[in-house]
Amino acid sequence: GPMGVYWVFFKFYDLLARFSCPPSHIMGKKQMLRLFPQLDERIKYACVFYEGQHDDARTNLSIALTAAEHGAVIANHAEVTKLLKNSEISDGSPGEGVPDNSRDSAVITGAEIRCRISGESLRVRAKSVVMCGGPFTDWLREKEANDTKITPVVNGAAGSHIVLPGYLCPSDTGMVDMATSDGRILFYLPWEGHTLVGTTDVKCSITDRPIPTEEEIKWIIDETNNYLSPQCQVTRKDVLSAWSGIRPLAGDPHAAPGAPASRDHVVSVNPTTKVVFVAGGKWTTYREMAEDAIDRLLETHPSLSTTAGPCKTLSVDLLGAEGYDRNLAVSLAKKHGLSIEVGARLARCYGGRAVDVCHVFEEIPQYKGPIVDGYPYLLAEIPYACREQARTIEDILSRRTRLSYLNLDAAYRAIPVVAEVMADTLGWSASETSRQIKEAESFLETFAGPEPAAALKAGN
Ligand SMILES: Cc1cc2nc3c(=O)[nH]c(=O)nc-3n(C[C@H](O)[C@H](O)[C@H](O)COP(=O)(O)OP(=O)(O)OC[C@H]3O[C@@H](n4cnc5c(N)ncnc54)[C@H](O)[C@@H]3O)c2cc1C
């Protein structure tokens, strides 16, 4: 593209980041190929800019665990099956600290929660209810209305990614194509020792088991190959894992007529039930989303604002910040006789809490081994993850390690090992262990590897 336009664009980007990163700059072909030898020689120049990256699953868990440290009650695998109106839950008294408007019988002041592991249900009473269902917001709104015929407000846009071997990308530099054949942006990034490429953007219906189509995978490969040298051309067989996620694109059903449509996240209050929902948005705006949702909640329940102080989340350290320092990986490697690769992964993922993971294998030495060959994940992470509410093999394969997203074959190989350690840790019976294994296998069927996804082949 035109060099001048991109230069201005990335200088503006630097400004948005308040110059907290090194400055963006233009790089000539020779230097570019030294930094990124996988690129094709036909590329004339590169604009270099800086971006943040995270392990989204760990950030998510860290936020939840930090909230728990500050007094929140959190529960994994807890499904809201019903939202309860005041008239359904109350014994007539508003209860201690319950807002005045909960005397109104249409206001929702509780929920029925089903534990997806044990199947048990319980009722929880609340001063107020906020729904944060992402793409599943309308499923929750159906429960709120106790009606399946609500007008949906969240549209789904499926985004598929493919993961390639790490050697196809430098370990600290990626590429972004701002002008693919159909105008979408394509990222080609080093991620967890691999190369992550995506994403597509396809209108889709909402499902909790999205599957990447072969058409999307082919599109990503074709676009990528436009930029890679002849030696590094990607084939379908290079795909170690491919998966799809659904972005929530939200509208506000309770907005005043003519109100401007939101560009990003939507916070909406149902005037009858007083339930607040927040949907849409990005990881980069997660804190702002939460703050906006709580502000609306306080407007809706003024009596709660008497005890609420200003939002503090900007300055609250997430779990793992304490005890972290820039040489933690080295300290862990030296103290526990770990490879620097394992030390670095523990430090990056758990921060200061990596010390607690190491305690696990100091007590049970056989847990110092890897979950699966070729990956820096330790067996010790499995019992540790169970302490942080991991309860299924899928939890370990997808959100505690990232194996299913990185390498489908390695994830399948890990299933029996993970099952054995979880069974030991959580006291699973033989039948529970085999049920868990079947569930994990059916989860992996929604991923593609060098072959199409099994669920796609089965026509699901
Ligand atoms: C392909 C893709 C690429 C993206 N790339 C980026 C990016 O580069 N940068 C960025 O900033 N953002 C990115 N995002 C956006 C970001 O991931 C989402 O905006 C974010 O995950 C939305 O968070 P959420 O908490 O609103 O929803 P979710 O993360 O979807 O969480 C909703 C939760 O509600 C739970 N739930 C649903 N129903 C119930 C029920 N009945 N009871 C209990 N729980 C329930 C679900 O299990 C789920 O855990 C991307 C998203 C996708 C899909």
Q: Which atom of ligand 1 is nearest to the CA of 285?
A: 11
Pocket test for ligand 1, best of 282, 287, 392 (most atoms within 8 A of CB): 282
Say if ligand 1 is within 6 A of residue 247 CB. yes
Q: Is the pLDDT of residue 344 over 60?
A: yes
Burial class (CB in 10 A: 0-12, 13-18, 19+), 442: middle
Q: What is the mean pLDDT of residues 35-61?
A: 95
The confidence score (pLDDT) of residue 184 equals: 87
CA 51 – CA 39 distance, rounded (Å): 20
The confidence score (pLDDT) of residue 94 equals: 46
Q: Compute the mean pLDDT over every residue in the chain, rounded to the nearest whole number.
A: 92
Q: How far apart are the first and last CA of the chain?
A: 41
| Amino acid at residue number 252 | D
- Residue 80: strand, helix, or coil: strand
Whether the CB-CB separation of 275 and 150 falls below 8 Å is answered with no
Rounded to the nearest angstrom, the distance between the alpha carbon of 80 and the centre of ligand 1 is 17
Tokens, residue 51: 């971006």
Q: Is the pLDDT of residue 398 over 90?
A: yes
Q: What is the mean pLDDT of residues 39-53?
A: 93
Could you tell me which of 152, 162, 285 has the C-alpha nearest to residue 215?
A: 162
Q: Which residue has the higher pLDDT, 101 or 43?
A: 43
Span(s) in the chain for CATH 3.50.50.60 = 71-153+251-305
Say if ligand 1 is within 6 A of residue 60 CB. no
Tell me the pairing of strands 186-191 and 108-115: unpaired
Residue nearest to ligand 1 atom 43, measured at CA: 79
Whether the CB-CB separation of 422 and 393 falls below 8 Å is answered with yes
Tokens, residue 437: 């294994």
Reported as type and span, the H/E element at residue 81 is strand 78-85
Q: What is the mean pLDDT of residues 101-124?
A: 89
Reported as type and span, the H/E element at residue 123 is strand 121-125
Whether the CB-CB separation of 258 and 290 falls below 8 Å is answered with no
CA 117 – CA 103 distance, rounded (Å): 34
The confidence score (pLDDT) of residue 99 equals: 52
pLDDT tens sequence across 417-450 = 999 999 999 999 999 999 999 999 999 999 999 9
| Amino acid at residue number 15 | L
Q: Which atom of ligand 1 is nearest to the CA of 245?
A: 53
Whether the CB-CB separation of 394 and 443 falls below 8 Å is answered with yes
The confidence score (pLDDT) of residue 36 equals: 97
Q: Is the pLDDT of residue 199 over 50?
A: yes
Among 87-91, 198-202, 244-248, 309-313, name the one with the lowest average pLDDT: 87-91
Q: Which CATH number fits domain 71-153+251-305: 3.40.50.150, 3.30.300.30, 2.120.10.80, 3.50.50.60?
A: 3.50.50.60
In sequence order, the β-bridge partners of residue 267 are 278
Residue nearest to ligand 1 atom 49, measured at CA: 133
The confidence score (pLDDT) of residue 71 equals: 95
Tokens, residue 151: 């007008």
The string of DSSP letters for 224-245 reads HHTTB-GGG---GGG-SEEEEE
Tell me the pairing of strands 194-198 and 276-279: unpaired
Of 138-152, 248-262, 322-336, give the range with the top mean pLDDT. 322-336
Quick one: fold of 328-457? Helicase, Ruva Protein; domain 3 (1.10.8)
Q: What is the mean pLDDT of residues 151-161?
A: 91
Q: Is the pLDDT of residue 96 over 70?
A: no
Span(s) in the chain for CATH 1.10.8.870 = 328-457
Residues contacting 9, CB < 8 A, separation 6+: none
What percent of the chain stands above pLDDT 70? 95
CB atoms within 10 A of CB 257: 4
Phi/psi of residue 145, each to 5°? -85, -10
Phi/psi of residue 222, each to 5°? -60, -45
